[in-house]
Amino acid sequence: MDPLSEVLSFLKPRSYVSGGWNMGGEWSVRFGCHTGIKCYSLFSGECWLALEGVAEPVRLTAGDCFLLPSGRPFRLTSDLGLTPVEALQLFQPPLNGSVSVYQGGGKCFGVGGHFTFAGDHAGILLGVLPPVVHIRKEADKAAMRWALERMLEELREPQPGGHLLAQQLAYLMLVQALRLHLEEGTRGRVGWLFALADTQMSAAIGAMHDDPAHGWTLQELAERVGMSRSTFALKFKETVGTAPMEYLTRWRMLLAGDRLTNSSDAIAAIGRSLGYKSESAFSTAFKRLMGCSPRQYGRRSASVVPGEAEAAGAGELAAVAS
């Protein structure tokens, strides 16, 4: 499995809401803070996106896709000078799998989804993305068009299984938007996600993800991607933002945390599966990076009310996963 697929599978994104809006007349809607990531695309019309904390608003036109990973409040509006209506007042439940119509619709039509993450490691992805990801190139719009049109069909003409299909199409849009973002503008950006655009760095990250239990060395990874040891170490640090062995340890610990939370495997067995010869060696490495012992981490996760971990964990692990 490639690293992006593996990280998304690890994060277990869930479509919290999938649907659309159809706006008419002059309109302005304010959306509050959110957890997870929102991914929407305009099927027709145009509007402004104004995100709190970002100086310049974004002009959206038909076919544009945008991701909002920061959780900040934002406005969608036909005119930046209009006083917004709160989304919670405008869009009354049930929202999921439906299209909300405002002022008769017909001027701006958008569809998409809001994704939350099952675990408490959302910072792995959200922490490396900019506040707004805007997909606007014509070739990129064409790549999104099939999923956009199919989702619109499901929302306009509900069929048996349509709710689930709309969720999956929204997920497809999310993955495609991330791929296009990597292709569009990653030069100079630092982080594992942007490193995937580099063939050699992607190969090194993929090797560590494919076999985290292997006793990787700097020399072995360098040879794997056809580079000298020193050149590889320098380039990895410059593109990923951390040393190769540090990245490997962090990935192992994130995998360990997931298994401590979601399996009944013994601590020693988890450690062995990640390349540690003894439980004590594994526990020492885990505590150094995660701030508590594996046993304490498992108990803490078991005591967290579902939904609370996501809100608390994104910031906590953003540094671990950067």
**DSSP class of residue 305?**
P
Q: Provide CB contacts within 8 A for 174, sequence distance 6+.
A: 13, 37, 39, 67, 113, 115
Q: What is the pTM of this model?
A: 0.76
**Residue 267: predicted pLDDT:** 95
In contact, 318 and 192? CB cutoff 8 Å: no
Q: Which tens digits make up the pLDDT trace of 46-91?
A: 999 999 999 999 999 999 999 999 899 999 999 999 999 998 877 6
**Residue 188: predicted pLDDT:** 66
DSSP string, 68-123: E-S---EEEES-TTSPPEEHHHHSPSP-TTSEEEETT--SEEEEEEEEEESSS-TH
**Residue 61: predicted pLDDT:** 95
In angstroms, rounded to a whole number, what is the distance separating the alpha carbons of residues 247 and 216? 11
Residue 138 neighbours by CB distance under 10 Å: 8
In angstroms, rounded to a whole number, what is the distance separating the alpha carbons of residues 78 and 306? 38
Burial label for 174, CB within 10 Å (0-12, 13-18, 19+), is buried
In contact, 322 and 128? CB cutoff 8 Å: yes
In angstroms, rounded to a whole number, what is the distance separating the alpha carbons of residues 270 and 282? 9
**Residue 186: predicted pLDDT:** 59
Q: What residues of the chain score a pLDDT lower than 70?
A: 15-17, 91-97, 119-120, 184-188, 301-322
Residue ranges, comma separated, of all CATH 2.60.120 domains in the chain are 3-184
For CA atoms 222, 228, 230, 233, give the dihedral sign. negative
**Residue 164: predicted pLDDT:** 80
Strand partners, 29: 76, 85
**Residue 92: predicted pLDDT:** 59
In contact, 166 and 154? CB cutoff 8 Å: yes
In contact, 166 and 18? CB cutoff 8 Å: yes
In angstroms, rounded to a whole number, what is the distance separating the alpha carbons of residues 283 and 294? 6
**Residue 187: predicted pLDDT:** 64
Q: What CATH class does 192-321 carry?
A: mainly alpha
**Residue 320: predicted pLDDT:** 26
Residue 66 token pair = 């945008």
Residue ranges, comma separated, of all CATH 1.10.10.60 domains in the chain are 192-321
Q: What is the CATH number of domain 3-184?
A: 2.60.120
Amino acid at 17: V
Look at strands 28-31 and 46-51 and give their pairing.
unpaired
Residue 136 neighbours by CB distance under 10 Å: 16
Q: Long-range contacts made by residues 291-300, C-beta under 8 angstroms, separation at least 24?
A: 294/256, 294/260, 294/267, 294/270, 295/267, 297/257, 297/260, 297/261, 298/260, 298/261, 298/267
In contact, 64 and 23? CB cutoff 8 Å: no
Burial label for 288, CB within 10 Å (0-12, 13-18, 19+), is exposed
Q: Where are the beta strands (DSSP E) in the chain?
A: 13-23, 28-31, 37-44, 46-51, 58-61, 65-68, 74-77, 85-86, 99-102, 108-117, 133-135
